[in-house]
Amino acid sequence: MLTNDIFNSDVVANKSVLSVKDLNQIVKDLLTDAIGQIWLVGEISNFSRPASGHWYFTLKDEVAQVRCAMFRNSNSRVGFIPQNGQQVLVSATVTLYEARGDYQLVLDKMQPAGAGLLQQRFEQLKQKLNAEGIFDAIHKKPLPQSIRTVGIITSSTGAALHDICQILKRRDPSLRLIIYPTQVQGNEAASQIAHMIQIANLRQECDVLIVGRGGGSLEDLWAFNEEVVARAIFDSSLPIVSAVGHEVDFTIADFVADVRAATPSAAAELVSRNQSEQLKRIDVQEQHLAMAMDYYFVRCQKKLNSLIQQLQGQHPQTKLAKQLNLLLNFRHTLYATIQQYFTKQTNRYILLDKKLSQQSPQNKIIRYQQRIESDHQQIINAIQKKLTEINYRFAIQAAQLNSVSPLATLERGYSVTLNQQQTIIRQTEQVKIGETIITRLKEGTLFSQISKIILPQTK
């Protein structure tokens, strides 16, 4: 009895007593908020597939396991039936099954573990390009209002091309199609897709590009997750509609493209106009045009009636006569002006010719020629006078030189004696007995040898 009283008093004092349901709800919220969406790899065991269509199984590794559930709306997009012992990569939310208080994972994506590396590469490239701002809406180009030519970059043998062409033909037969064939799967696919985007931009022969392919696994769609394709789409000046796989498939190309279509067929509907809607719109525009033409004709009729009334009040012959008189006056004025101009120009020409004659350079040229001839004659006279003076002085100096020349002495019968050093002998001391001496006469030269020397007698 005492214990019950104490328990009752505690209950009264503490108003936050929880039920099991409340506790499980709190734990569930804590798990969901604290951990959220995760990716993990594990092995499937105890796989169950009841009539409800949901999947229940255990995901385990070497040392631990966790219960998992994947509901029908999510597992319908997986594309394969998991098997016990199969390694898978899953995207899941950590939560609590409140009815039993069991901690579990609720999966929304699943793929074979072999695709895990591709998924990791996908997330890394997505984060990188998103950080660069390539996915930003500011870079998205709107589709043209009037599309006449559509470029399609896809496999020439794929079902996607057939679906696109069929829908475009049905919705808008006037559209012109240009197909840029390329691989959409395999090692060379990404570079070929990027190359075709660049070619389409160089040619500028279409208004919009559809880039895509039909559905498939992550590996099949991987060419559209390559960075080279993303860069080519971003650099494109033509608007690009990405149409890769099914509605649940997302690729890097979808995030970069100007518009993302859920399927290739949806892309064809985006870029085309419904033929029946166009016909209805043409009918409406035709009605508007007819009404506008009726209104225009009414206005023209009113204007015509007004002009007829004005014409009846003013006979055209009178206006023609006035115009003719005005024309004759203008012609007379023009002729008079032209004649006056010619007279003025003629007088000006005569005046200028007279001034030119007065200032003709011919007289100056004659005077300059006379001056040049006079100066030329003076120069010749001065040169002749100078030559006469120089010749006279030369004759005097030659005579003087001749008078003292040794040749003149030789002419008078004298001779000149030289020693072997070609020095004139003036004294006996300059020679010695036996020495050869040279004697130059007026004509010829003598060579002699001294046999005797007679010295002069001193006084």
Kindly state the tokens that stand for 384: 């002749």
Cβ–Cβ < 8 Å for 197, 258? no
Residues 178 and 448: their CA atoms lie apart, in Å, by 127
Q: What does the pLDDT read at residue 312? A: 65
Measuring CA to CA, which residue among 69, 144, 161, 159 is closest to residue 108?
69
Q: What does the pLDDT read at residue 122? A: 84
Q: What is the per-residue pLDDT across 174-213, written as a single tens digit (0 to 9) for each?
A: 889 999 999 999 889 999 999 999 999 999 999 999 999 9
Give strand pairing partners of 112. 88
- What three-state secondary structure class fits 459? coil
Give strand pairing partners of 270. none
Kindly state the tokens that stand for 135: 């996915």
- Which residue matches tokens 């030789």? 410
Residues 348 and 439: their CA atoms lie apart, in Å, by 98
Q: What is the DSSP string of 358-408?
A: HT-THHHHHHHHHHHHHHHHHHHHHHHHHHHHHHHHHHHHHHHHHHH-HHH
Residues 326 and 320: their CA atoms lie apart, in Å, by 10
Q: What does the pLDDT read at residue 2? A: 41
Alpha-carbon torsion (187, 192, 198, 204), positive or negative: negative
Q: CB neighbours of 290 closer than 8 A, spacing ≥ 6?
A: none
- Residue 43 belongs to what H/E stretch? strand 37-48
Q: What does the pLDDT read at residue 114? A: 61
Q: What is the DSSP string of 80-98?
A: S---TT-EEEEEEEEEEET
Residues 12 and 275: their CA atoms lie apart, in Å, by 75
Q: What does the pLDDT read at residue 413? A: 65
Q: What does the pLDDT read at residue 139? A: 92
Kindly state the tokens that stand for 147: 């599309």
Reported pTM: 0.42
Cβ–Cβ < 8 Å for 153, 183? no
Instruction: Give the phi and the psi of residue 19 in degrees, each rounded to 5.
Output: -90, 165
Q: What is the DSSP string of 29-40?
A: HHHHHHH-EEEE
Instruction: Give the phi and the psi of residue 285 in degrees, each rounded to 5.
Output: -65, -35
Residues of the chain with pLDDT under 50: 1-7, 9, 11-13
Q: What does the pLDDT read at residue 12? A: 45
